[in-house]
């Protein structure tokens, strides 16, 4: 049985984090949308501390990552954790890395007295949907994510 270890990322891990982000984008068929750089990741994750990253290793080899941050629920009156990205490299899927990463996130949420752990998943990603449901996660029926970017964001912000 392979040994899976999970650890928080440090500044030296920025190139690995960016590599995983690019691999995730390829999996999601969104590689043309990745404009992140090592400098941006370093600034926002480690200098501004707006997100955190956990890294998964299988027998000492980098296998995947989870990038997350705190959000807030006014209804619960407390913070939650929002999982922005979860990725496990093809050759390590099915070994328990994803479950180990989500398990660590769930423990962090409980330790930090968060009210929930949530994330989004592409509608076509049936392998991930099945995996999430097997853990007891439920989709949020009746909610649609809205996003402002680029010119629309700038225009509204004037």
Residue pLDDT, tens place only, 93-122 = 999 999 999 999 999 999 999 999 999 999
Computed from CA positions of residues 99, 100, 103, 104, in that sequence, does the dihedral angle turn out positive or negative? negative
Helix%, strand%, coil% for the chain, nearest 5:
40, 25, 35
pLDDT in tens, 51-102: 999 999 999 999 999 999 999 999 999 999 999 999 999 999 999 999 999 9
CA–CA dist 33, 39 (Å, integer): 17
Across-strand partners of 85? Answer: 67
Candidates 3.40.50.1110, 3.40.50.10320, 3.40.50.1820, 3.40.630.30; correct CATH number of 4-156?
Answer: 3.40.630.30
Compute how many other C-beta atoms are within 10 angstroms of the C-beta atom of residue 28: 16
pLDDT score for 144:
87
For the question of whether the overall pTM of this predicted structure is more than 0.75, the answer is yes
pLDDT grade, residue 1 (50/70/90)? Answer: confident
The catalytic residue positions are 132
Across-strand partners of 87? Answer: 65
């Amino acid at each position: 049985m392979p040994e899976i270890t999970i650890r928080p990322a440090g500044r030296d891990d920025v190139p690995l984090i960016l590599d995983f982000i690019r691999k995730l984008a390829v999996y999601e068929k969104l590689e043309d949308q990745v404009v992140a750089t090592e400098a941006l990741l370093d600034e926002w994750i480690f200098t501004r501390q707006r997100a955190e990253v956990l890294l998964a290793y299988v027998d000492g080899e980098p296998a995947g990552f989870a990038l997350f941050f705190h959000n807030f629920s006014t209804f619960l009156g407390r913070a939650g954790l929002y999982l922005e990205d979860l990725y496990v490299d093809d050759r390590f899927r099915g070994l328990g890395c994803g479950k180990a990463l989500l398990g660590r996130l769930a423990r962090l949420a409980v330790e930090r007295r968060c009210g929930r752990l949530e994330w989004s998943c592409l509608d076509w990603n049936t392998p991930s949907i099945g995996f999430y449901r097997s853990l007891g996660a439920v989709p949020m029926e009746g909610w649609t994510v809205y996003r402002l970017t680029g010119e629309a964001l700038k225009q509204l912000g004037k």
